[in-house]
Every structure is written in structure tokens, then in C-alpha cells.
Amino acid sequence: MQKPITLATPPEECYTTTSCLNDYLTSVAESLREATAAAVVGIYLVDRPTGRLSLRGWVSDHRASRESSAEPRVLGRRGIESAELSPATLRDFMHAAPKSERIASPIHDGAMWSGAIVGVHHDGFSDGAPALFHDVAAQLAAVLGKVRIPIGDQLIDEDESSIEKPSDAIPGHGAGEGIAIGPALVVRSNGDTIKLTEKVEEDRGQALERLERALVDTGTEIESMLADTGDDFYDVVSLIFGTHLLMLQDDAFSGEIRALVRAGQTPEDAVQSVVATFVRTFRDLREPRLAEKAHDVRDIGRRLLAQLAPAAAERLDVAGHIVIVQDVLPSDLVRYSVERAAGLVIIGSALTAHINILAQSLGLPVLITDDHRVLEIASHTPLLLDSDDGCLLISPTAEQLLDHGISQIPDSAVERVFSDDTEPDARGRVTGAPESPPVDRPHAAAIGLSVAANVNLLSDARRAVVEGADGIGLYRSEFPFIIRNDYIGEEDQYRVYRSIIRVMNGRPVILRTADIGGDKLLAGRDEERNPFLGVRGIRFSLANRELFREQLRAMLRAGHDADLGIMFPMVSSVDEIDDSREELARCIDELAARGVPYNSSPRIGAMVELPAAVVTIEAFAERCDFLSIGTNDLIMYLLAVDRTNERLGELYRSHHPVVLRTLADIAHRIGPAIEHLSVCGESAADPMMIPFYLGIGIRRLSVAPRLIPTVRRVASSWDESTASDFANEILAVPTLREMDAFLTSRAHNYATEP
């Protein structure tokens, strides 16, 4: 009977340091080799970004060579998915002699494959060997569940690339808008240490002096980045990098680094040790909201190491590149935009509302794909990312470039030739010719159409003014929370809202309270089985009243001299409106007692997004000064179609007969209050829907700032009579199939061209 193996607890350092973990795995492999008299034992772990198996621990006897057995750093064919791991699969990847007996035991914790232990025995394993391999694999799974390898982004080795020029474009889901062209930059999280080529000879005083210089230089670098951001994105960028500056000044962080240097560690080792401790602490708390905090610490660590050892630390210059990366946080989108990336390819993420909307506001072309081959693209390979068509072209041909409106293939990653009506900006982003200035349209003026803007960032508000918006019809106040991945206090909210209101210079502004939930889930909230039907929107605010009051006070203060509206999202009952109004009244009393400037009589509104709101629309109108139809969610709830589910895209239609009849019913039953009824969903900018809205009497639309000229142009083709006739015709169409045919036959009536 084979003697059991009990694995020793690894040193604490092995939970955070790649080299220590590899040494530990090698010692485990040696224990197995000795116990089973194996010729070779190798331990492979799954590299999550690529799904490949990487050799991490390896031992052999005198009869086996590394070249002839299991030495390849990446096992087997490229692109193996972790779900494919099995003993049978792994045996196919072994490189031992045909007569040798092989064992492959997967490492998994019951929910996720982590890797495998493989063994080769030239004379055949004993009967008890498979059970021993299995037992050690189970023990390893428990150890690996605690491992954290946190710091740093590292380029994929160019010699690892297996993609040169696929015949077809890599498909995905586009977010943001436009086309980006530039060289590839593939990054992934990998390791938390740097290896110094030359050890710095210095005493402790010199080491402390070098550390202090690095702390100052890192702060200067971040302040410079903030200054270079400009006014447009300062609101959100300051939320991210302002935290980094505070962290550099925090004695719990920088003070601990100094203490380790005084104790004899090098500044590089001290930084890495403190960062690893902070990251491990955040992650061991198992609080999802702290993922962003760990992310902040890692970023600060990377910047400090780059100042301390610029030759050894990897500096990622993303400017002008199309960055290919695993899942990202919302703050990463802001970070890459500020650092002037041309575009972003994200592997393995679902297209959520906040990623899409944030990318649009940042003007960052984004492609989301589950094709892991993009991680094997060699650095500097020319790429074309088309977020509108949802595809990535690798080393695009001249014909492919022409198909995307670019006249010549770039001679290099720097030389790019574009057609007369497309220009690359400094980041390598391609935009079309600028919109012509808004023109007075007789029908649009006669019909009394008001076109406001949907705003997420300060940059959106500035563009809204340029495009001639009649105001802000929807400001999504949850975006500062989502970008920061945390709640922000009253003062920070006040500054953000105030900057938005100032830009609008007297135009009406509607601030919507935070719509947290659904696919705009804020980390730190409890997981819900179905977040779209859970504690979302106004339910969340009323369940967290102190946070709600902070937000209401910030809005009232920010709009003290403005034409201010405050709107509540995802309202399902009159009771929720009444409760929200009571909270607002309480906040007004509190601000009056504080003696600070505030708006004492804001207009109060609600979103119409739920079937329950449609049924009680008359009561909603009685209690609100205005209402806004959020068609994005209303369509989803009416048709029971998840708008983030790509397989149901054909069913999610704004012109579905059920949706059209529901919208017409709202407009009819609301009566005179229709004057204060708007539409703020994506369908408000749909050329097929604009005449319908006009025809049923809706005169207020709120759209993305870039679409304001298009909406005005389409509306100018319709007067009250023709729009009413169109609405009656389209309402008479009974089925979705017939609706598609009807709209195709009438396509010329809603052309977007001038």
C-alpha cells in the first residue's frame, strides 16, 4: 500500500509571489516522484487569461530529460480551454515514450479546474499510485484557492503568438463608437516581482532617500496625468487618481514601506511586500467592493516600482495602441482613455449597460469578445477595431480597410493614411467628418420638438451644449459610483453635479437618482439571483436611506440656482413616489437648517420603465411634475427579453407591436400631462421611432449628445398631420414579421441624411 503524502503548509510568501509558488510546487512534485518512483512528475496550472496549461513545478530522475518529457512551458496545443481538462485529455499532451505508463490527475476544488499533476513511469506505476496522485491534487486545490499573484501588467511574449492573419475578422460586441487603428498591445496580470539585473549598493539612508524620491515622483506623475486630462473628464478621473494620491500620503501604506526599508529591506522589496500584504488583506475579506481597492494598490505599486527600477519594471505605454486585455473594471476604461489608448479589446466580458455607455462617453472604441486567440496576437501587429460593426481585423488588407472607410493600408504602426472624410486623432481613433451645425427646420420648429441630452460625464454635457441641446433630459448619477466602484460622499457628489449644471448655463437639468442594480451592479452589493428583478433603482435608494439622503442633498445644493429636476428610476408604485418625496422634503428641511444655498422647489419626476408604472400612469402623472419613458428597460420587461442576452437580440425590438401599443396607451391616458412626458431610451434617437413619437403627441426626446443633430434632421421631415398618419398606420400592424416588412417599405420616410 502506498504511503500517504501530507503536504506542508507553504510559506506565506508563496501566496503572493510567483517564484516562491513555483518552488513549492517543485517540492510537491519531488515528493510524488520519490513516493511513486516516477521518471517525471510535472505540475501544470491553468493560465486564466488564455486557458492554457503552464508548467510550474517539474522533477525527473536520471533516465528522463526535460526535453523528452514534460518541459514545454505551455503544455500541448494552444488555446486549450480549462473546461477541457480531464485525465484523458492530458494524456494526449504527454511527450513520454509510447511504452511508458502515464498518470494525469486534474486539480480542482469542485467548482473550477486549476490545473493538473502529470506523471510518467518507464516501468509502470503501482496500483496505489493513481490514488496518491489524486489525493495530492486535492490537497493542492485547497492550497491554490488561497494563492494571490497580484501585481503588474506584462506583455505577452512575441514568440508565443500563434495568430498572424486569420482570413476572417474576429467577431465581438462593439461598445462605444467608431473605429480605431493602431499596433496591438497585449497585456495580462502576471507576477508581482521584478528581477533587478544589478543590485543597488547603498546604505539605509541612501535607500530611504531613493524611496522618498520615488514617492514624490510617483505623486508628480499622477498629478501631471490629472492636469493633462483637461476639464472634460476631470470629474471621473479625479475620483480614481485622487485616491491614489491620498494613498501615497497614507502612513499605513507609505509609512509601512519606510519601516521595512529602515529594517534593512531594499525599497523594491519593501514596496512589493507591502503591496502584496494590502492586496491579500482586501481579497481575504471576500468583499467584492474591495476589488477596486486592491486594484488601486496594485497600480500604485506598479508606478512606484517603475520609478525605483525603470530598467526592470515593465512600463506600459498604451498611447496610440489597441490594448488587448482580460476583464476590466469601469475605472480601467477611464484609465486607458486618459492614457490615450486608441481602442480596447476585452476578453470574456458580457456587454453591460455601464461598459457600453461609459465607452461612448469616453469616445473609446471597445470590442468585447470571447475569442481567446486575441491574446496570442504579437505586439505591434497592425489592428483595426470597428466597434460599430463589432469586429477586429488583424493586419488588415487594403480591401478590408476600404470596406471600413480607410483608403490605404498603413505602412507601419505609425504611418497611417486615411481617406479625405476620415481622420485619426492623436490616439489613432478614426472619426467621420464633423456633423454640420444644426439648421433651422420649419417642421421641427412648428411641431414644438424639444431635444435634450442624456449625460453620463462632464464631457457629455459639454458636447450637449455644442450640439444645441435644449437641456439635460437624463443625467445618470450612478456613473461616478460605478467608475469608483464605491459610494462617494455628499461633497464629492456635489462637486460632480455642480460641474454638470454650470456647463449647461441655465438650461434645464434633470438629475436622476442612482439606478444601481441589473447590469449596472455596484460591487459590494449582495449577489442576487436575478438582479434585474431585485433591489434596483428606487428600491435600492429606499432600502439605503442615508445614502439616498446624501445624494438628494448633493443634488439640491448643486442646483441651487438652476432649473432643476430630480427624477426617480425604476418606480413600480405610487407608494415609492410618496416615500421618495418625503425623503426629499426632509433633505430640504435639513439644508434650510444648515443655512447653505439649495433649490427649495425642484421639479420632481419618475421614470416609466415597468409595466406596473404603465398600468398606474394617471396616478404617476398626478404626483409628478414630469415623467420620462425609459424604453431600454420598458421593452425588456414588456417582452420578457434580457437586453444583454445576444441570443435574444431579434426579439428585443422597439417597434414590436406590443411596445408601440403600450407607448400609445401611455400617451393617450396621460392626458394634458403629455406636455411634460419625454422619452429618454435609445429608441428616442431611432429614425423609425421618431415620427411615431411625434404622431402620438410626445414632444420631448432625450438622446446621446452626438445624436441630437440626427434627431432634429429626422423630425424636420414630418409635420403634425403626417406624423399622426404614420403613427396610426404603424399601430395597425399586428405582427412583428409584418412590422419588419412595413418599416422596410417606408424606409425612405425616415432617412437620416439632410
Which of 431, 456, 477 corresponds to the end of one domain?
A: 431
**What average pLDDT is seen over the chain?**
77
Domain assignment present for 667: yes
- Which range is most confident: 153-167, 376-390, 642-656, 707-721? 707-721
The CATH number given to whatever domain includes residue 378 is 3.50.30.10
Q: What is the pLDDT of residue 18?
A: 67
- Which range is most confident: 107-121, 285-299, 597-611? 597-611
337 in Cβ contact with 364 (< 8 Å):
yes
Domain assignment present for 216: yes
Task: Give per-residue pLDDT as tens, 238-251.
Answer: 777 777 888 888 88
Domain assignment present for 638: yes
179 in Cβ contact with 404 (< 8 Å):
yes
- What mean pLDDT do residues 150-162 have? 39
pLDDT surpasses 60 at 715: yes
Which of 404, 431, 458 corresponds to the end of one domain?
A: 431
Domain assignment present for 239: yes
- Which range is most confident: 57-71, 467-481, 629-643? 467-481
More confident residue, 723 or 237: 723
Q: What is the pLDDT of residue 414?
A: 29
Cross-strand pairs, 604: 566
pLDDT surpasses 80 at 109: no
Task: Give per-residue pLDDT as tens, 584-599.
Answer: 999 999 999 999 999 9
Helix (H, G, I), strand (E, B) or coil at 144: helix
Domain assignment present for 4: no
Q: How confident is the model at residue 360 (pLDDT cuts 50, 70, 90)?
A: confident
- Note whether 547 and 667 are same-domain residues: yes
- Note whether 470 and 601 are same-domain residues: yes
- Note whether 631 and 658 are same-domain residues: yes
Which of 405, 431, 457 corresponds to the end of one domain?
A: 431
Domain assignment present for 80: yes
- Considering the entire predicted model, what is its pTM? 0.63
Q: What is the pLDDT of residue 151?
A: 30
- Note whether 175 and 212 are same-domain residues: no
The CATH number given to whatever domain includes residue 49 is 3.30.450.40
Taking alpha carbons only, the member of 252, 227, 249 closest to residue 238 is: 227
- Note whether 581 and 713 are same-domain residues: yes
Secondary structure (DSSP) of 509-576: EEEEPP--BTTBPPTTSPP-S-GGGSS-THHHHHHSHHHHHHHHHHHHHHTTTS-EEEEESS--SHHH
- Note whether 400 and 462 are same-domain residues: no
Domain assignment present for 496: yes
- Which range is most confident: 204-218, 219-233, 646-660? 204-218
- Domain of residue 268, residue span: 204-308
- Note whether 511 and 402 are same-domain residues: no
Helix (H, G, I), strand (E, B) or coil at 186: strand
More confident residue, 388 or 80: 388
* Contacts (Cβ under 8 Å, ≥6 apart) of 492: 239, 480
- Which range is most confident: 446-450, 516-520, 531-535? 446-450
Q: Extract the C-alpha cell encoding 314.
A: 515593465
Q: What is the pLDDT of residue 725?
A: 95
Q: What is the pLDDT of residue 749?
A: 59
Q: What is the pLDDT of residue 72?
A: 30
426 in Cβ contact with 468 (< 8 Å):
no
The CATH number given to whatever domain includes residue 226 is 1.10.274.10
Q: What is the pLDDT of residue 112?
A: 55
- Note whether 496 and 636 are same-domain residues: yes
Q: Dihedral sign, CA of 647, 653, 657, 660?
A: positive
Task: Give per-residue pLDDT as tens, 267-288.
Answer: 988 998 888 888 777 766 655 4
User: Helices marked H in 254-352 — which ranges?
Assistant: 256-262, 267-284, 291-308, 330-338
Domain assignment present for 220: yes
Q: Extract the C-alpha cell encoding 405.
A: 472607410
More confident residue, 282 or 426: 282
- Note whether 184 and 221 are same-domain residues: no
Q: How far apart are CA 70 and CA 120, in angstroms?
A: 9
Q: Extract the C-alpha cell encoding 222.
A: 499622477
325 in Cβ contact with 184 (< 8 Å):
no
- Note whether 234 and 180 are same-domain residues: no
Scan for cell 486615411, then name that residue: 418
- Note whether 567 and 665 are same-domain residues: yes
Task: Give per-residue pLDDT as tens, 635-683.
Answer: 999 998 876 666 666 778 889 999 999 999 999 999 999 999 999 989 9
The CATH number given to whatever domain includes residue 705 is 3.20.20.60
Provide the strand spans (E) within 151-214. 153-155, 170-171, 173-175, 179-189
**Total domains, the chain:** 4
- Note whether 240 and 298 are same-domain residues: yes
